[in-house]
Amino acid sequence: MGIDEVISVIPYDEKWIALFQNEKINLLKAFRDDAIDIQHFGSTSVIGMFAKPIIDVLIGVKTLELSNSVTNKLTQLGYEGFGETGVKGRLYFRKRQEHAYNLAVVIWNGEQFARIMDIN
Specify the pLDDT at position 1.
53
1-12 confidence digits (pLDDT tens): 567 788 899 999
13-59 confidence digits (pLDDT tens): 999 999 999 999 999 999 999 999 999 999 999 999 999 999 999 99
User: For residue 29, is it within any domain?
Assistant: yes
User: For residue 104, is it within any domain?
Assistant: yes
User: For residue 6, is it within any domain?
Assistant: no
Q: What is the CATH number of the domain that holds 30?
A: 3.30.460.10
Total domains present in the chain: 1
User: For residue 10, is it within any domain?
Assistant: no
Q: What angle do CA 39, 42, 48 make, to 5 degrees?
A: 110
DSSP 3-state assignment of 88?
coil
User: For residue 23, is it within any domain?
Assistant: yes
For the chain, percent of residues with pLDDT exceeding 70 = 97
- Structural domain of 68: 15-119
User: For residue 25, is it within any domain?
Assistant: yes
Specify the pLDDT at position 5.
81
What average pLDDT does range 50-71 have in this prediction?
97
Residue 91, φ and ψ in degrees, nearest 5: -95, 135
Could you tell me if 47 and 91 are in contact, meaning their C-beta atoms sit under 8 angstroms apart?
no
> Model pTM?
0.92
User: For residue 7, is it within any domain?
Assistant: no
Specify the pLDDT at position 115.
87
